Amino acid sequence: MKTRFHKMHGLGNDFVVIDARETPVEMTAPRAHAIGDRHTGIGFDQLILLEPSSVADVKMRIFNADGSEVEACGNATRCIALLMEGPADIETMGGTLHTEPGDASATVTLERPAFEWELIPLAMPMDTREMPVGWDALEKPAAVNVGNPHVIFFVPDCDAIDLEQLGPVIEHDPLFPERINVNVATVVSTEHIRLRVWERGVGLTRACGTGACATAVAAIRAGYVQSPVRVSLPGGDLIIEWAEGQPIRMTGPATHVFTGEADWDNFG
């Protein structure tokens, strides 16, 4: 049976969104991976499955292109905000997010970030402000969990880092038992950061909303920038607001590309 889906993106980070609130859709890792194939499927960075929620307006499940299910996705949350057509609470594995749609944009309020090593999680105790570890040119990252886990490397020029080579090495390092999202950032001024992200289970992406949040939080904690801060990714800019002990607010674009239909049984 064919059901409807939406193709959407946030700053080029693209999604297939399936609304399964009325007609349930069984989603498995192999099926998600098949749908995500850009040659034989539909193609996406993440697949978003909307389901009924008993604690919020909707439940959002997130599958990466490799089929793995993950906790949070900031860019996707802004897209779902547009579909909800009004302020909404969204249940995720990474916590409940509040969204406020705007004109082709949205603001998402994430829960308070976590910095404790066991909540990142790391395989051993260490200071997450400046971890005593390194991989080639990347050293002494900060670690932040914003609903999903991130390490952030502050470097003179983020474009000069071979993230396509180093990203998968760091993502799969035994130090990170649940793998890790890898961010390389350059502080341009106290109000501006440039950022590139290697997403676990996806690879290099044009934008990562939770990566922008984690990087802004780490930079504010280190005194490099002040809130609000503009984070520039290859796909465009996000505005991040955060103060110690408070939730994170992220504002940026979201785009509905087209609506289609598919029979998900054709994907295994």
Are the beta carbons of 30 and 61 closer than 8 angstroms?
A: no
> Average of pLDDT values for 61-68?
96
Q: pLDDT per residue over 221-261, tens digit each?
A: 999 999 999 999 999 999 999 999 999 999 999 999 999 99
Please report which confidence band the pLDDT of residue 1 belongs to, taking 50, 70 and 90 as the band edges: confident
The sign of the CA dihedral 123, 201, 138, 144 is negative
| Single-letter amino acid, residue 43 | G
Kindly state the average pLDDT of the residues 14-32. 96
Q: Of 73, 79, 158, 213, which residue is the catalytic one?
A: 73
CA distance 19 to 45: 17
49 CB-near residues (< 8 Å, 6+ apart) = 18, 20, 25, 27, 60, 61, 62, 63
Q: pLDDT tens for residues 118-176? A: 999 999 999 999 999 999 989 999 999 999 999 999 999 999 999 999 999 999 999 99
Residues in the chain: 268
Burial of 104 (0-12, 13-18, 19+ CB in 10 A): exposed
Q: What is the rounded average pLDDT of the residues 27-49?
A: 97
The whole-angstrom separation of Cα 141 and Cα 218 is: 9
Q: What are phi and psi of 194, to 5 degrees?
A: -100, 145
**Residue 212 phi/psi, 5° resolution?**
-65, -40
Place of tokens 């505005």: 239
- State yes or no: pLDDT of 61 exceeds 90: yes
Q: Is 45 within 8 Å of 202 (Cβ atoms)?
A: yes
Residue range 178-228, pLDDT digits in tens: 999 999 999 999 999 999 999 999 999 999 999 999 999 999 999 999 999
Residue 73 a catalytic site member? yes
Residue 79: active-site member: no
Nearest to 140 by CA among 160, 154, 156: 154
Q: Which residues pair with 152 in a beta bridge?
A: 142, 183
Output the pLDDT for position 38: 96
Provide the mean pLDDT of the chain.
97
Stretch 46-59: mean pLDDT: 97
Q: Please report, in angstroms and rounded to a whole number, the separation of the first and last CA atoms in the chain.
A: 14
* pLDDT at res. 85: 82
Which one is catalytic: 79, 158, 208, 213? Answer: 208
Q: Give pLDDT, residue 223.
A: 98
d(CA 208, CA 71): 14
> Would you state the pLDDT for residue 42?
97
Q: What percent of the chain has pLDDT over 90?
A: 97
pLDDT value at position 106?
97
Among residues 141, 139, 229, 155, the alpha carbon closest in space to that of 196 is found at: 155
